Copies of this chain bind each other. A is one copy, B any other.
């Protein structure tokens, strides 16, 4: 009984930066980066381009805002009942991001570019903080904070992007199973001399579970963190 499907946005309701961002996210979710166009955006909001440019500087800023909005929702900075261990907390942050990218495939590319383009924005610090606090809580000595947190964040972004984009709708309409199967088969047909390893591992690619692998990778990096920076205090 809520505002029924509103394809072209209930006439009035006043334009606002928030509504624009919201509509942009819907378009991105539906048709990827190519789906976000000022023409369809103005149609959806039933305005003209000028109205949007009043609230938003340009398309880049709109994409940044959409990214920040989604990341903020996926990675809460103040975890509610923090009865979880640092390790569990890190997995939670990572999974939050993983799932966000899974639900919004355009996020992967966006994160890759935006993170480096404008690290003054709120998204890099948010992710960094979410992971870093737990690295600190883990008892890693201060000298290892930056390296450890960076390694975790880089792994998470790389893996989440990779897996998730493969996942839901890299190209809308491709089934995950078929996709992995096709890649796996392609790997098996590589030159045996040049690609002995990749061929050997094609089967593991076909059978692997994204989420499981992703978390296994986190555990692996965490093992590296504690191996190289043995916790000084804390014992769990």
Interface positions of A (Cβ within 8 A of B):
77-78, 108-109, 112-113, 115-117, 119-120, 125, 128-129, 132-133, 135-136, 142, 145-151, 153-159, 161-162, 165-166, 170-171, 182-183, 186-187, 190, 194-198, 200-201, 204-205, 208, 213, 216-217, 219-225, 227-228
Contacts and interface: CB of A to CB of B under 8 A. Distances in A.
B170 A162 contact: no
Contact of A197 (B108, B136, B190, B208): B136
A78 B191 CA distance: 13
A187 B125 contact: yes
A33 to B, nearest CB: 10
A145 B197 contact: yes
A227 B223 contact: yes
How many copies make up the complex? 2
- A149, A156, A200, A224, most chain B CB atoms within 10 A: A224
A171 B195 CA distance: 37
13 contacts: A77-B194, A108-B112, A112-B112, A129-B196, A136-B200, A146-B213, A149-B197, A149-B201, A150-B159, A155-B155, A220-B225, A221-B221, A221-B224
Given A194-B129, A221-B220, A213 B147 contact: yes
Given A220-B221, A223-B228, 16 more contacts: A119-B166, A119-B183, A125-B198, A128-B198, A132-B201, A136-B197, A150-B217, A151-B159, A154-B154, A154-B162, A154-B217, A155-B158, A220-B225, A220-B228, A222-B224, A227-B227
A170 B120 CA distance: 14
Given A201-B149, A217-B150, A162 B115 contact: yes
